[in-house]
Structure formats: structure tokens, C-alpha cells
Amino acid sequence: MTCAMGSQCCKNLTNGDAHTIANNNSTDVVQNGIEETATQSLEVLGPKLSSLRPYYPTQEPIFPPDLKINHKEYHGATVKICGPRVTWIRPISLDEMLQLKKQFPKARFVVGNTEIGIETKFKNQSYPIIVSSTHVPELTYIQDTDQGLQVGGSVTLSQLDGELKQRVRTLPEFKTRIFSEVVEMLKWFASQQIRNVASISGNIITASPISDLNPLLVAAGATVQAMSKDRGCRTLTMDKDFFCGYRQTALAPDEILVSVVIPFSKSNEYFGGFKQCNRKEDDISMVNAGMLVRLSEDWEVNKLVLAYGGMGPALVLARSTMETAIGHSDLSALQPMDSQELKTMQVVGAQDSRSKVTDCVGQIIPHKAALQQSTGQAVYVDDMVPTQDEVHMALVTSTKAYAKILTIDHSAALAVPGVVDYISAKDVPGQNSLQSQMDSVFSEDEVTCQGHIIGAVVADSADVARRAAKMIKIEYEDKSPIVITIEDAIKHSSFYTGERRISTGNLEAGFAASTFTLTGEIRLNGQNHFYLETIATRALPGEAGEMEVFCSTQHPNCVQEKIANALGLPSNKIVVRTKRMGGGFGGKETQSALSAVPCAVAAHKLQRPVRCVLDRDEDMITTGNRHPFLAKYKVGFSPDGKLHALDLELYSNAGNSLDLSFAVAERAILQIDSCYKVENLRIVAKCCKTNIMSNTAFRGFGGIQGTFIAEAIQEDVAEYLGIEPFKVREANFFHKTDLTYYGMNAGGDSVRRCWNMCLDKSDYFRRRALVDQYNRENRWKKKGLAITPVRFGIAFLQSFMNQGGALVHIYTDGSVLVTHGGTEMGQGLHTKVIQMASETLKIPMSLIHISETATNTVPNALATAASVSTDLYGLAVKVACETLNKRLEPIKAKHPHAIWEEIIAAAFRDGISLSATGFYKTPGIGINMNTMKGIPFAYFTFGAACTELQIDCLTGDHKLLRTDLVMDVGDSVNPAIDVGQIEGAFTQGYGLLLLEDIKVTPDGAHLTRGPGNYKIPSFGNIASEMNVYLVPDSPNPSGAFFSRGVGEPPLLLALSAFFAAKDAIRAAREDSGASPRFRLDCPALPQHIRMACADEISKRFPQVDPASYRPWTVDL
């Protein structure tokens, strides 16, 4: 075979020119193999490995051609590779493997390494010997037997899936009922990538209490062939005794699992699998089950096996039910959820009221970087080619929530080969402070949350830096009280000073005029930003204190200022550049600085480039989330649901530093009336000081919390009165001329317009009747339908922050480079700005480019946030372009038929400046935060959503059936981007309200540290039918090119999904006779939905006194 590399093939190159398969001196193949065969392997790999040159990061790594060409040679030999910490052995015969198992009973025998890999990376486990059993023929075969299908232990789940499917297709249906359910379960087992490598033996032997295959195998009565060197082979049935403890099986330490027989079902046997998790795809089970029933000829149950996972430390059999629960059951419980083909529609209308010249404003234009991003060519910080002397940084963080630091011993870490330095507060030449009510750069004496940054290790690779960071020994002295939750903060009066209070109307008179009053509580938990690209920084020192910083941040200017402050340098020495981010959602507004500033401190100290790219778990524990909120309310209203008085206490969990928490609380206060008029209102808002990572900005920024609370109160009133929530909402809507409590026109008619459009497009009334009918006919599946309005104010609340700058250059070839203060995080800002520049200059978009955002081109820019960036930067660019137009006017007049390029060439020859700045400041806004009176917003963005959702009352599962989303985005600058924002925001909001679950222990440890246990919405969570409508003919004179800000408002559309779930639960409660009034907090996870259905089964669960036990996790 010839190599595709031709003459460049590594075989033809001299030492070191080959593309590498391993690098350094520490990885080697040793001569003292365990068997003769191991020594043979040296002849295959040894000389080549040791003759290879180190890996050069400047070269694109490729799959080694030698491995492609000589794969048979490599596959046919035992391989043993000794690294400094791990010896990896890959035997090729069963006998060798048994010998190894005898010799090293504690060694791990891996196939896919998907369990062991997690244990070593995240659980600090170390296994000095790992044996890979992927190449042992007896473990990889598959054969049909009389009893069923026999599969070798190392068969991957994808192979198993294919083999089972083939038998399901060809064998009689009755024989393959177990196979079919295993296939169905595999669909939901991890991801395709995991299934491609993970094995059946890995799943069985791990014996996880939430393994997805084990309940099926036990219920099916599968058998396992186990083998040891000394005692040979034996067969074990996977029954009640097979899983004998937490992660323990009946196999002896010297035994390996050779194969498994999955039996055929018999004609009178029926089999079912079940998996319950937050999200359907790629999620680990909360509870799962395998169920087999054998019927007699007269259809009486004569065998029942119910095997459950997730109910205890090991798999359990529901033995008493198996013995006694033989009889009839209500089959409606077994009906699957509704399923239909995915449908979607986007109606953007021909609504544009602007004049068109060469313009492309208002047109559907793909995101400018769509091609680069979808083909992997887009460059993010960590894609940048490192310089020769670049080093990597890993953070050293606190493992205590609140403690004094006694000693820090970094000697072991510094002794690790490749480690360059340990960086701490002592190395900060300027102020050890991140300013702006944030924390120190490195904490010195005290830590106030787990994840608090104490120091950093710099090494020649990220891997070594991370490993060494874990070796820093820190002695602490615990402090108390540890305050984690809002309730803890209330108990210990742990609040940041400066609570916000507002009062409007006459509360007492309002309550006196109310026929009814209700008190209640509602809470909304946090949400992780979970952007695709974690926070990343490269800091490159230059001459005389200069520093160039590439950072994944929504706020380059903030990073610049904080680095300058920490280094004790003026800001003009620091340049921060952001080409793009892989998502931000507010998480990179202030908190990029948490790792960017230490990175710059290290670069400054070492005088060499330093790169810090947070691993997902580092990102999740060192940065904050969306603020959890708790609201305590008293509401007064009349029999039609009209609210007369509302008294509210709002608590937000701010974390260990204030950061933006008061701004978030203020936004919540300003959104607390949602779209409803409440004459008499009092709000007290407090920010709780707690020992968790400081919570921060997140798309919606208090607005979603305020609106959620407002809508929950509307629902509470409706439930109390026994009338449809829809009617209560309508009774309270602002009218056309109504003012908000702070004195701004509330846009009542715009809300109505969206609402009516949504009622119409969703066919609300007909579907309401259908949903009610469905609920009357079904006991264990219920449907819910809800419509909710949206009104979201557009502006930063600090009025000075509503300013933006731009710089536009025209080059002599006529091409235009636009720079502005906004950053691109996938939201399409640069695309919209280019459209607006194109419209203003009256040239095609193809002549215009935006390359990056940088502090040396547009200074003092504010964060790209608050849904204002299209307005601020679009209009700043417009101003700059208009300046240039003015300068070009004489040339155009002189050369009326000249094309753009000729005009520019002529202008250059005439000595006309072809570069201009632009600046825009939102006029006429400002609010007094003490009185909460004024005009805080430039305008509102409006919308409405109607969502239908189905729940399974027994499992708490739910499915979005249909959602109709209506948004008034004014005259859209780019409907394609706006629709993308609407669909994305709805889905993110849905994740917040019904799916995502941050798990924190009572002592403040974050358990959710990655995609393995923190689940954001996936494909299966998309509504079966999702329709988006942009309101036509709705120009907004206060927005850029008559548009409205769209980044955050559509997040609120997801409230319709949450209240649809509540509607469905209400229907279930009606059947069981439970009160229609009940509390449902956010997120409403399956366990909450299940228990809220309050039927005879859920009532059997005893109420446990919360003070009587220490929970695993707490609601923040």
C-alpha cells in the first residue's frame, strides 16, 4: 500500500521528519514485557517511537500514516507502553489477559475507557496498570445460540445495536422483544461517540446503580460467562445476587467477563425498558427499569420481573410487587407520549417600511461568519497558533466555602517536570483587586467560596499545569457560618448593604379595596451559561510594559482596565482583542477577567506569553451563574382577577462578591409588573451575600426573574379564583395610555397586538377545547396550554452606559474596515452592523469587513449586553459613515458617473481623510434608582407565546408539542438573525425553567461541572412544532433603522412552556381531587412535576422534616 503522503510519507523521511504519534522521553516502550509477546511488540513500535522528534505545536497534527499502512502489524502484536504514571498493556490473547488479571487483580481492564477515563480525569483516581481488551478475539465475537445472542465482553454498544437490529429484522417478532427494548434503550444511552467505543462488559462490570443496560439484562435473565486463570470458566445468571453492592458484581477479583448471552423472548413473554432523566438524549438516568412479564395461556401473569436502577446503591428488584402485583392495570399509563414529525415555520412578513436604495437592511442575510463557524475555520482564542515560548496556566482554587488560608505548599507542584512557576497574590505588581465590586485577583488570607482563585500554576503544557495545580497543598481553618442558600442568608442576615425599596400608590388602601388577598412564595433557581467556548485568554508581553491580550470576553475594555490596575500600568499599555466568542450569554461580561487578569500577571512576571483556557469544570466552578431568586408576596385582587395591591420581598443569591447583583435586582424590580397594571405596589429587594461563586449577568439579567414572579402571581390568583389564567392576564393588561409605576408609557397596545396575533396564530381557543377534552379522556397523560405576554425594556439602567463608539476606515481600493465597541458572540451583531454600514455608505456588503473588537481602535466601550448593541454600535457606525459621506459629497458631485472605487481613489488624491469615528448616545433616558421614577428604557420589545406541552403524570416526563412565538422586533434589520435569536432564546429559557439543574451541596461544592451532569436542551427538547412570527408594520423610531433589540426579550417567551406544564399538572390534580392552587418552582424537573400531580401514589411518600436530615444538594 502506498501512503497518501507520497514522498512526504514518514517512512521516507529521516529521523524526526515524520509526523509524530508520541513525543517525549517519558513515554517509551520497555523491554521487560510481561510475556514474550510483549517483547515482540517492541520490535514493532519501539524503534520508531524513540526515534521520533517532539511534537511541534506549530504543525498541524495528522493521523500517523505509518499506523495506517502498517495497521495489521500493530494490531497483531501485544503492546506495552510505560509512561511515568501509567503502564498501558494491550494483549491479543485470552490467555495473556487471564494471566494479567491474575498478576494484577487491581488493574483496570478497559475497552472504551469511558468510565475509567472519567474516574482518572475528574475523580482523581490513579490506576498504574491499564489493560486494554479490545484486541482479544474471544471478547470481540458475536454468535447466535439456542438461547439467544452471545456477545463478547469487548463488543461495543454500537456493534451490539447493529447486531440486535439485524436480528429484530429477520427473526420472528416474539423472539426479539428483549432485543427490541435493548435497541430502544441504546438510542438514549450516552451519545453515538460514546456508544462507538463503550462496551457491554464496561457497563456491566462498572455496576453503576444507574446503568442503563443492567436493569434490562437482569429482567431478561441474561447470563454472563466469567473466566479466571486458575479456575477456568463459569456461567452466572444476572439475577438478584449478581449486583451485590455499590459498584460491585459477583465476579471474583481474578475473573474477567468473557461474554454475555442476551436471551430470546418467548411467545408468551413481553418486555419493556424505561429510562427517566431530565433530558432524553445523552443524559444519565435518574431512574430506569427493565420489566418482563410472562402470561399464561389465559392471559394471567405467571412471571413478573421488575428490575430498577437509581433506587439505591445497587440495582433492586421490586420483589413484593413481583410476587403480589398480578392482576389488571390501567393501560393508559403505558401509552407513549405524543410524537409527530418535527414542523417549523418562520413568518417574517413583508413589513419593511424603510426606504430602500442599495440597502440590505431588512433582508435575510446569513451570519457573516456562518461558513467559517460551521466548517471549523473560525478562529477562537485556543485555535491561535502558540508562539515558541508560550506557556500554559491552570488555576488553583479553594476547596472550602469559607475558611482562613493557613499555609500554601507548592513545592511538590514546582518539582513536576515542565512546571515553570507558581503565581499568587505576591506576584501582582499593582493592586490585587478586580475592582467594580468584584474580588481580589488572587485571594490571600481567606476564601469565601469553593472555586475561589488562590493561585495559578504555569507549565509548558496545559495538562502538566492542571496536574501540578492539583498538587498544591493548602491548609485551611474553617470559618462559620457558611451561608449557601437564600434561606441561610435570611437566617444569618447576610445581605449586601443598599437594599432596593420602591413604593407606589397606597398599599393599605389597595388591600382594603381587594375582595381577596393571598400570600405565597415562589423561587427560580440559577442557570449555568454553558457557552460552547469556555473562557480563554492569551497574554503576550511586549516592550516597556506593553501587553497584548486575546480574550474571549464580552467586555474587552473591562479586561483592559483590570489588567492595567493589577499590573500597575496605564491602560494605554494594554491592548485587549476579541475576534469572536463561542457564546457569552452574560457569563463573559465581567467574569472573563477572573482568569484573564491572573493570566496577564503571569505573563508580566515571566515575560513570556501565557495561555489560560479553562477546562469546562474549571469554568463551571470558578465563574458564577444566573442569580437564583426567592419572592415572598402578598397580593390583593377582585373576583375577576384584577390586581389592586402587591407587596413583595425579593431575595437574590448574589454569591461571594457583589459584581452586578444590584443591577440584576433593579432590572427584576422594573420587570415585576410584566405587562400588568398594579396601582399599589411595594417592593423590597435584597442581595444575599453567600459563600458560592459570585453570580453574574445572564441573558435576561433579572428581567426573566422579575417576569417569572409576576406571571406566577397571575397564575396563583387564577388558581385561587378557579378561572383560566389567560383571563386573569387579560384583566390586568396595561391599556394604551397607561404608565408603568416608574412613569414610562407601558406600551399596552403593543402588548395587545402581539397577544391577539398569538391567540390567532396559535388557534388558542380551538386548541384549548381540544386540550380539555384530551385531559378528560386520559388519566395518566395530561396536556397543558398556556399563553404569556412579553414586554422587555431596552437599555442599560445606568444611563451613561448607553453610549457606543465606532471607527470606519476606507482604503484606497474602496474596501471598508468597520470597527466598533461591540463584540461578536454568535448573535450576529457584526452582520447587522455591516448591513447598516452598507445602507449608509450605499455600497454592497461585500466591500465591508469587521475583523475584531479591540481596545486600541474603539476605546472605553461598554459590555456587549442588555440587547442594546445593534442600536448603539449600528448608530455609531452610521454616524461615522455619514461623516465620510459628507466628505465624499464634493467628489461625487464632481464625478457623478464614477463608481465607488473611482470616487475613493479621487478623494485620496484630493487629500480627503478616509477615516472617521462615530459616536452614539441614547437620548432622553434616565431613572432615579432611589425613587425608581424616570424613563429607564429607550423603548420596549414586545411579544407573546403560546405553548402546548404534554406530561406523564406517573414519571414527571414532559414533551413540548407546539409553540407559537410572536415577537415585535420593529422593522427587523435581519429577520434571519432575529428568528435565530428568538428560537435560541426560547430554548435557553425553556432550559432554565424546565430542565437545567445546578447541583450544589450544603457546604457549597458544585456537583454539576460539565456536560455529563449538567444538561442543557438538546434536539429532543425542541417543540414538535415551532412557529415564529415577526409582527408586521411596526417601525420603532427609537431603535437603529426602526428595529428593536432582540437579544434578551425572547427568553421570556419560554414562560409559556413553564405555565403550560402547570396547566397540565392542574388537570392531573383535578382528577385526583387535589387543590388547584399549588406552588411550582423553577426549574420544574420531572420529580417536581410528578409529585405536583398529587395522586394516591405520591401521597404515600411521607413528608420528611427538612431539619431531620442533611440533603445531598440544596436549592440556592
Ligand X SMILES: Cc1cc2nc3c(=O)[nH]c(=O)nc-3n(C[C@H](O)[C@H](O)[C@H](O)COP(=O)(O)OP(=O)(O)OC[C@H]3O[C@@H](n4cnc5c(N)ncnc54)[C@H](O)[C@@H]3O)c2cc1C
| Residues with catalytic function | 1048
Minimum Å distance from CB 102 to ligand X?
Answer: 13
Contact letters for ligand X, residues 166-195 (x by CB under 6 A): -----------------------xx---x-
Q: Is the peptide bond before 481 cis (omega within 30 degrees of 0)?
A: yes
Minimum Å distance from CB 36 to ligand X?
Answer: 23
Question: Which of 652, 747, 755 minimizes the C-alpha distance to 706?
Answer: 652
Contact letters for ligand X, residues 1002-1021 (x by CB under 6 A): ----------x---------
- Contact between 113 and ligand X by CB under 6 A: the answer reads yes
- Contact between 284 and ligand X by CB under 6 A: the answer reads yes
Q: Out of 22, 151, 256, 1067, which residue is the one contacting ligand X (CB under 6 A)?
A: 256
Closer residue to ligand X (CB): 150 or 432: 150
Q: What is the largest CA-CA distance in the chain?
A: 101
Is residue 778 helix, strand or coil? coil
Residue nearest to ligand X (CB): 202
Q: Hey, which residues between 1 and 60 contact ligand X (CB under 6 A)?
A: none
Question: Which of 969, 996, 991, 977 minimizes the C-alpha distance to 1055?
Answer: 991
> From CA 300, how far away is CA 296, in angstroms rounded?
5
- Contact between 109 and ligand X by CB under 6 A: the answer reads yes
- Contact between 311 and ligand X by CB under 6 A: the answer reads no
Q: Out of 39, 78, 133, 228, which residue is the one contacting ligand X (CB under 6 A)?
A: 133
- Contact between 160 and ligand X by CB under 6 A: the answer reads no
Closer residue to ligand X (CB): 150 or 864: 150
- Contact between 203 and ligand X by CB under 6 A: the answer reads yes
- Contact between 159 and ligand X by CB under 6 A: the answer reads no
Distance of CA 182 to the CA centre of its chain: 29
**189 a known binding residue?**
yes
**332 a known binding residue?**
no
In 83-128, the DSSP E strands lie at 87-90, 108-110
Residue 36 grid coordinates: 514474550
Contact 688/519 with Cβ under 8 angstroms?
no
Contact 808/875 with Cβ under 8 angstroms?
no
DSSP code of residue 845: G
- Contact between 249 and ligand X by CB under 6 A: the answer reads no
> From CA 277, how far away is CA 997, in angstroms rounded?
12
Question: Which of 950, 962, 970, 952 minimizes the C-alpha distance to 986?
Answer: 962
> From CA 279, how far away is CA 284, in angstroms rounded?
9
Minimum Å distance from CB 311 to ligand X?
Answer: 15
**748 a known binding residue?**
no
Q: Out of 5, 45, 52, 115, which residue is the one contacting ligand X (CB under 6 A)?
A: 115
- Contact between 968 and ligand X by CB under 6 A: the answer reads no
> From CA 740, how far away is CA 737, in angstroms rounded?
10
Closer residue to ligand X (CB): 157 or 594: 157
End-to-end CA distance of the chain: 62
Closer residue to ligand X (CB): 199 or 661: 199
Q: Rounded to the nearest 5°, which phi and psi values hold at 42? A: -60, -35
- Contact between 257 and ligand X by CB under 6 A: the answer reads yes
**589 a known binding residue?**
yes
> From CA 322, how far away is CA 1084, in angstroms rounded?
32
**267 a known binding residue?**
no
Q: Out of 5, 69, 82, 116, which residue is the one contacting ligand X (CB under 6 A)?
A: 116
Minimum Å distance from CB 252 to ligand X?
Answer: 11
Q: Which stretch binds ligand X (CB under 6 A): 102-110, 456-464, 639-647, 935-943?
A: 102-110
DSSP, residue by residue, 918-933: EEEE-TT-EEETTTTE
Distances from the Cα of 859 to the Cα of 334, 569, 590, 819, 832, angstroms: 62, 16, 17, 11, 21
> From CA 865, how far away is CA 588, in angstroms rounded?
10
**229 a known binding residue?**
no
- Contact between 334 and ligand X by CB under 6 A: the answer reads no
- Contact between 202 and ligand X by CB under 6 A: the answer reads yes
Q: Out of 10, 18, 34, 110, which residue is the one contacting ligand X (CB under 6 A)?
A: 110
- Contact between 922 and ligand X by CB under 6 A: the answer reads no
Closer residue to ligand X (CB): 189 or 1029: 189
Minimum Å distance from CB 131 to ligand X?
Answer: 8
AA letter at 519 = T
Question: Which of 398, 399, 397, 400 minimizes the C-alpha distance to 479?
Answer: 400
- Contact between 212 and ligand X by CB under 6 A: the answer reads yes
Instruction: Say how many C-beta atoms besides its own lie within 10 A of residue 426's C-beta.
Output: 11
Rounded to a whole number of angstroms, the CA Rg of the chain reads 32
> Residues touching ligand X: how many (CB under 6 A)?
29
- Residues ≥6 apart with Cβ < 8 Å to 701: 586, 660, 663, 664, 667, 865, 866, 1048
- Contact between 261 and ligand X by CB under 6 A: the answer reads no
- Contact between 242 and ligand X by CB under 6 A: the answer reads no
> From CA 410, how far away is CA 407, in angstroms rounded?
10
Minimum Å distance from CB 88 to ligand X?
Answer: 12
**353 a known binding residue?**
no
**202 a known binding residue?**
yes
**866 a known binding residue?**
yes
**255 a known binding residue?**
no
**699 a known binding residue?**
yes
Residue in this structure with the C-alpha cell 513545592, named with its chain if needed: 411
Contact 763/963 with Cβ under 8 angstroms?
no
Contact 228/98 with Cβ under 8 angstroms?
yes
Q: Out of 198, 456, 559, 564, which residue is the one contacting ligand X (CB under 6 A)?
A: 198
- Contact between 205 and ligand X by CB under 6 A: the answer reads yes
Residue in this structure with the C-alpha cell 501540578, named with its chain if needed: 468
Closer residue to ligand X (CB): 159 or 199: 199
Q: Which residues are annotated as a binding site for Mo-molybdopterin?
A: 554, 585, 699, 866
Q: Which residues are annotated as a binding site for FAD?
A: 189, 199-203, 212, 257, 275
Q: Which residues are annotated as a binding site?
A: 189, 199-203, 212, 257, 275, 554, 585, 589, 667, 699, 701, 866
Interacting residues toward ligand X by CB under 6 A: 108-116, 118, 133, 139, 153, 189-190, 194, 198-199, 201-203, 205-206, 211-212, 256-257, 284, 1012
